[in-house]
Chains A and B, each alone.
Chain A
Amino acid sequence: MALLEPSTITILVLTGIFSSSIIFLISAGLQIVFGIQRILNLTVGSFYAIGAYVGITFINFFLKMGFSVVYGLLFLILAGLSLSFLGPTIERGVLNFVYKKEEAFQLLATFGLVLIFEDMIKLIWGSYPQISDFGILTYGEFRFLDTSFPVYYFLVIISAFLIAFLLEFFIKKTRQGKKMRSVADDIEMSEGLGVKVRNIYILSFTIGTVLGTLAGALIIPVTAAVLGMGIEAIVLAFAVVVIAGLGSMRGALLASLIVGLLQAFITFIFPELTTFVIYLIVIAVLLIKPTGLMGKEI
């Protein structure tokens, strides 16, 4: 059947999983901040955009310095990690003052930051799309069933799954992770037991920040950094969060896979219905299981 030949299925599955990987990193950033701090952090979209812009600046700088292009992925990860300072800065400088305010106020505060970051990007990098000198085919191509994919796609997929595993391990198995879970469950009890909530807030927000900046940095060999990319990303991340259940990390991984694969297949079969189907699932989850597929975790 011409509609779904093996090569077509391969293309759609690989593309879907690649998209899922990026969506997961952004939505995981959203999840961890909401799970611990109970703030819907729109800024995660800006972190994604800044990660992309800084990633381009980073890698172009190192390549101009004469470093081999083979280290490209490493430089991109470094770029994402180098922006971790934004976490404590924003948490202490802005969010610290809105924890006890109404949710709408918190949303407005983070939305204000989104607009500020958008203007900062325009000021620093201008309005034209920014491109990295690091080509996506640097690590070669992988051929399968009469079709080819950049090896870089697989590196991003592996990186995302690795990050998901490390996050799970950190939250479930480490001392800091357990403190985070306790704060998520009961702040007052945790404080009573000696957990420094302020530090946990800084830690969780920084992890959320780095997840966003890493996603942005990792995507840039595949795309261009453009104004508005953060806002575009946050819309899809919210769909993932609703399907997953607010605060659920495993749910985020599962929902990202659902959204990414659905996007790929529906675009091929019924392209007019892609957005409709994704938001139909969002509505169905809200009606049938408002806590999401795997809500109430972390």
Chain B
Amino acid sequence: MEIGKPKPKKISKEAFPEILKERMSRREALSTGAKIGIAAAIAAIVAGVGGYFGGVSTAPTRVATQTITQPAQTITQEAQTITQTVIKTETLAAQTVTQTITQPAQTITVTQIITGTPAKVPVPSEPLRFGVMGFQTGSFAPASIAGMNAARIWADWVNQAGGILGRKVELIFEDETGPVDVRKERFTKLTVEKKVDAIIGTTATSTGLAFGPLAEQLQQIWISWDATTQQGLEETLPNPTYAFKSINNEAESVAGAVLTARFFPDIRTVAGINDDYSYGRNNLEAFMAILKRFNPKVELVKELWPKPEGTDYTSEIATLKATKADLIHSSFWSGHATIFIRQANAVGLFKDSKAALVTAGGVLPTLKKDFTPEGLLIGCNSWYFLEPRGWPLREAFVNEYVKRYNEFPVYECDHAFFSFQAYKAAVERAYEIKGSWPTKEEIAKQLTQVTVPSLSGYRSFREDHVMLTSFWQGLSKHSPDYDFIILDPVISVPPEKLQPPPGMKFHDWVKTWA
């Protein structure tokens, strides 16, 4: 169930910047090969051989790359109408040729980029500036700070490798803590005063709901690590231009419900303790909806909604203990997860109840063995740093992170790293097409067209600007090699099982589950 394409090659962390270059050049090589292949395929279609690619393709190079891998299907086509449009834009160094093939049942669009020999305009010499925003204080800070640390490592590595198309990168950090209006002012300040090229980061849904429209208004690229633009389980910004959103809030509990059904099939009663805000409420609702598909008799017997950023759950745990539910569900994801598990274990809550702590892996290194029992279902979001696959980039990053910060990295590092990698690849791709430094809009368009290596494998954005990734969850286990828990067995739930397709409502999607 893996989506990444790990390279078995072992490399040292010192060699990382070269790895990035190497990977990019491989992509370019692949892309060039693809272009030749596409040209051949188009020629065959025009000659009347016909083409049947089995789907609608609108993405330029990346999707076209897929079509050339299915040559056998092109022979079976009978009647078809072919129209051809050639787009020439003087401002673009490259020419784009679009062919639209209309068939009885479907329309296929294949776009070919003829690179030719465009005259490239030199890139600006000044550094690229990124606003980086996350919680710097409070119990939500650990995950955000891990993301910011990852941003620093990425920036150093990219600068060591010569920057993005030769431009060095600079990071300007801002705090996400405080009222939403203050956060919006910081966004505006970064855009208008600091003139940053993009704003990357943010964790809270309240931030996302504010920043999504603001990014569109200010025409500023905003790539969120964890903040969605969801109101409840509904998307509020379905067709953005500049806003790039986190994976849906409820994804953790979707994965958690699937694995709860697998690991704890006999549970009948559930008690939930989740933060009293959008993320917490979305998670419990999604968890129960999915779990009922597997086990219709399961019942929610208690809902607790402590205020976000809590640091004491003694009263709530007493209630959970008295409720005697078969399973405790929680989406606590930062320092409060550590506190909850420790306080719950102290009064023996996990002796009486199973637990699905679907995001507690956000602070995995703090879940020490002496207070975290074995057998709890723990979710690590997009990245479990001990995942069984080999992936040199992960190994290099973990080594660097531990060396710099004397602690193990968590999933927010993956979201941060991916966000920056995607931006870099989008700029490079847009420059390749245009021949001069692209505008923010041009970069934003390319962000959905790139697939980049991140810490968890290759990752990309969906066409509606939602991140794609698989999620790692598993049962807690004590290992002699670590003073905190590891996950064994650990399972990767693929992206298509985590959130509805673009445009589909969550509960309609749940009905499609067998």
Contact = CB atoms under 8 A, between A and B. Distances in A.
Contacts of B363: 128-129
Contacts of A5: 322
Contacts of B435: none
Given A129-B338, A227-B139, A228-B137, A15 B315 contact: yes
A271 B305 contact: yes
Interface residues of A, number: 44
Interface stretch (B187-195, B342-350, B373-381): B342-350
A269 B5 CA distance: 51
A118 interface: yes
Q: Taking each of B317, B342, B368, B406, which has the highest tally of chain A beta carbons within 10 Å of its own beta carbon?
A: B342
Nearest to A135: B370
Given A150-B346, A227-B138, A275-B307, A18 B335 contact: no
Nearest to B312: A223
A223 B343 contact: yes
Given A122-B137, A135-B371, A148-B347, A226 B318 contact: no
A267 B316 contact: yes
A199 interface: no
A147 interface: yes
A15 B318 contact: yes
Contacts of B339: 129, 223-224, 226
Interface residues of B, number: 44
A40 interface: no
A12 interface: yes
A133 B370 CA distance: 8
B315 A229 contact: no
A131 B319 contact: no
- Choose among A231, A263, A271 the residue with the greatest number of B CB atoms under 10 Å from its CB: A271
Contacts of A268: 315, 318-319, 322
A150 B371 CA distance: 13
Given A15-B314, A226-B339, A267 B346 contact: no
B108 interface: no
B434 interface: no
B336 interface: yes
B366 A128 contact: yes
Interface in A1-31: 5, 7-8, 11-12, 15-16, 18-19, 22
Contact of B347 (A129, A149, A228, A263): A149
A228 B309 contact: yes
Contact of B368 (A12, A131, A226, A233): A131
Interface string A109-150: 000000000100010001111010101110001000001111
Contacts of B258: none
B22 interface: no
Interface string A210-254: 000000000000111011110111000000000000000000000
B315 A264 contact: yes
Contact of B315 (A224, A231, A263): A263
Nearest to A118: B137
Contacts of B303: 271
Contacts of B138: 227-228, 231
B407 A126 contact: yes
B319 A19 contact: no
A272 interface: yes
Given A128-B363, A274-B315, A11 B342 contact: no
Interface in B321-377: 321-322, 335-336, 338-339, 342-343, 346-348, 363, 365-366, 368, 370-371
Contacts of B139: 129, 226-229, 232
A232 B370 CA distance: 26
Contact of A223 (B145, B309, B311, B318): B311
Given A224-B366, A228-B138, A127 B310 contact: no
Contacts of A22: 312
Contact of A18 (B302, B314, B316, B322): B314
Contacts of A263: 315
A223 B347 contact: no
Contact of A267 (B309, B318, B343, B366): B318
A128 B407 contact: yes
B366 A129 contact: yes
A226 B407 contact: no
Contact of A7 (B141, B307, B322): B322
Contact of A8 (B140, B322, B348, B407): B322
A139 to B, nearest CB: 12
Contacts of B321: 11, 147
A111 to B, nearest CB: 13
A226 B335 contact: yes
Nearest to A275: B307
7 contacts: A15-B315, A126-B406, A131-B366, A135-B371, A227-B137, A231-B138, A268-B322
Given A129-B142, A150-B346, A232-B139, 6 more contacts: A15-B317, A222-B346, A228-B137, A228-B335, A232-B309, A232-B310
